[in-house]
């Protein structure tokens, strides 16, 4: 079958050694780097904004997959593109006019992603599926790394995979939260193209080996 790729999430990296942490992802052969932006509103914690994304952009050619866990994501679209984002994913739960934000991201010529938390059904995003490049299924409640994957979320990956075949669409399906050696085959079988790995990658003694294992399992 088709291969899924691992997007290491720097949320689990050491922010005081970001240069070295980015190198870990590069050396391991990753092509995507997942950047978790949290505002202390949509989720309790705060991580970083455009300054950090831009500093990372200057250090790497990796595909920067920006995951906005923020209220009012529309305010960050243009700044994040200027900072060097390659894909911008926002939460449909954080907005009323999701369709408008999708258009504004696409106008910037970067990949447009939408995300749903574990309590949100796929039916909420049906109208957007033909408009977006990427669907990020949260397999944990967003806000923290190192949580356990919630098994019921895997069914949503299956639904989205089925829907795209049925409707001849080609959005990518990505999954975020609790993906490790024990859970990766579950999400792969369900049909993901990309899986985010925070703690599984950065807390590993040998991240390069870990990425290889996760991608080949």
CA distance 62 to 32: 6
CA distance 207 to 132: 31
| Residue 45, both tokens | 């914690």
* DSSP secondary structure, 77-139, as one string: HHHHHHHT-SEEEEEGGG-S-HHHHHHHHHHTTSEEEEEE-TTS-GGGGGGGTTT-SEEEEES
Does 177 belong to an annotated binding site?
yes
Stretch that binds ligand DX5, among 24-32, 52-60, 93-101, 142-150 (CB under 6 A): 142-150
36 binds Zn ion per the rule CB under 5 A: yes
Stretch that binds ligand DX5, among 13-21, 77-85, 161-169, 191-199 (CB under 6 A): 191-199
Report strand pairing: 63-69 vs 111-116: unpaired
In the annotation, is 161 catalytic? Answer: no
* Contacts to ligand DX5 from residues 145-164, by CB under 6 A: 145-147
215 binds Zn ion per the rule CB under 5 A: no
21 binds Zn ion per the rule CB under 5 A: no
In angstroms, give the least distance from the CB of 211 to Zn ion. Answer: 17
Site track for ligand DX5 across 29-68, x = CB under 6 A: -----x-x------------------------------x-
* DSSP secondary structure, 133-174, as one string: SEEEEESS-TT-SSPPP-GGGHHHHHHHHHHHHHTT---EEE
In the annotation, is 65 catalytic? Answer: no
Does 113 belong to an annotated binding site?
no
The annotated binding site for substrate is made up of: 9, 67, 143-146, 176-178, 198-199
């Amino acid at each position: 079958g088709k291969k899924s790729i691992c997007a290491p999430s720097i949320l689990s990296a050491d922010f005081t050694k970001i240069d070295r942490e980015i190198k870990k992802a590069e050396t391991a052969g990753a092509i995507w780097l997942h950047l978790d932006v949290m505002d202390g509103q949509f989720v309790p914690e705060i991580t970083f904004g455009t300054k950090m994304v831009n500093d990372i952009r200057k250090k790497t050619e990796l595909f920067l997959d920006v995951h906005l866990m923020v209220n009012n994501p529309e305010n960050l679209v243009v700044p994040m593109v200027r900072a060097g984002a390659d894909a911008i994913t926002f939460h449909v739960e954080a907005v009323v006019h999701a369709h408008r934000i999708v258009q504004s991201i696409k106008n910037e010529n970067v990949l447009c992603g939408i995300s749903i938390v574990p309590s949100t059904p796929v039916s909420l995003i049906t109208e957007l599926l033909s408009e977006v490049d990427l669907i990020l299924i949260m397999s944990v409640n967003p806000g923290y790394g190192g949580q356990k994957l919630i098994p019921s979320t895997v069914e949503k990956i299956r639904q989205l995979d089925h829907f795209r075949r049925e409707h001849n669409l080609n959005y990518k399906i990505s999954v975020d939260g609790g993906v490790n050696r024990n859970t990766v085959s579950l999400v792969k079988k369900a049909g993901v193209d990309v899986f985010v790995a925070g703690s599984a990658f950065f807390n590993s003694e040998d991240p390069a080996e870990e990425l290889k294992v996760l991608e080949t399992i």
